[in-house]
Chain A
Amino acid sequence: DTEVTQTPKHLVMGMTNKKSLKCEQHMGHRAMYWYKQKAKKPPELMFVYSYEKLSINESVPSRFSPECPNSSLLNLHLHALQPEDSALYLCASSEEVGTGEEKLFFGSGTQLSVL
């Protein structure tokens, strides 16, 4: 299995809602990532988990809360989002950790709309 699976594929939420994005990989990769991508822009790094521990937080607002329950799962909890948070949220994993040569395997993303 060489896939990264993200659910849901689409999500519409109000600014007062709480929702979660889920990501799963069964490649035995020990690093997992959340990226945010706006239309016609490159993916922007949000968080990195290495060996199930948060290693990078790119100054992301606290309304985004990541969680790594185990080495195969990565969640992104959303609360009190703003319309400008609407974007494609991408999960990725890599076999390499901290080498500087991480090759990322991406999921298809969750297209989030905040109303």
Chain B
Amino acid sequence: SQKIEQNSEALNIQEGKTATLTCNYTNYSPAYLQWYRQDPGRGPVFLLLIRENEKEKRKERLKVTFDTTLKQSLFHITASQPADSATYLCARGSSASKIIFGSGTRLSIRP
């Protein structure tokens, strides 16, 4: 079956460091991947979308890469801050508006 996986359930890093989250996919080749942030008790918030022909996408302190050889997307937050603490979800879509989410990584930034 087509899977999208985030293998790290939780990640704890020191403030100021770069956080790197991983999203892997198997048994298919998505044309694009998305990343969302979710805070407790709130709906996810869209952050970035990257297409398979885009190796890298940036938005302020955020960077996403797409490696079709490794079947992987990496999500980086540089100069991390405690306010970046949240759950980060990667997602894939299909032509039928079917957006499926990975299991998420809970990121904690300690001061």
Residues in chain B within 8 A of chain A (CB atoms): 31-32, 34, 36, 41-46, 49, 51, 89, 91, 93-104
Contact = CB atoms under 8 A, between A and B. Distances in A.
A68 to B, nearest CB: 14
A100 B93 contact: yes
Contacts of B51: 101
Interface string A62-102: 00000000000000000000000000101010101111111
A108 interface: yes
Chain B contact residues: over half helix, strand or loop, or mixed? loop
Pairs of residues from A and B, 4 with the lowest C-beta to C-beta distance, nearest first: A106-B43, A42-B101, A100-B95, A103-B46
Contacts, number: 70
B49 A103 contact: yes
A21 interface: no
Interface of A: 4, 31, 33, 41-45, 48, 50, 55-56, 88, 90, 92, 94, 96-109, 111
Given A31-B97, A90-B44, A109-B42, 11 more contacts: A4-B43, A42-B89, A43-B44, A45-B98, A98-B97, A100-B31, A101-B31, A101-B32, A104-B91, A105-B46, A106-B43
Contacts of B103: 41-42
Contacts of B100: 45
Contacts of A45: 98-100
Contact of B43 (A41, A50, A99, A107): A107
A100 B32 contact: yes
B49 A101 contact: yes
A42 B102 CA distance: 7
Contacts of A101: 31-32, 49, 51, 93
B98 A106 contact: no
A94 B12 CA distance: 32
Contacts of A44: 101
Nearest to B101: A42
A98 B95 contact: yes
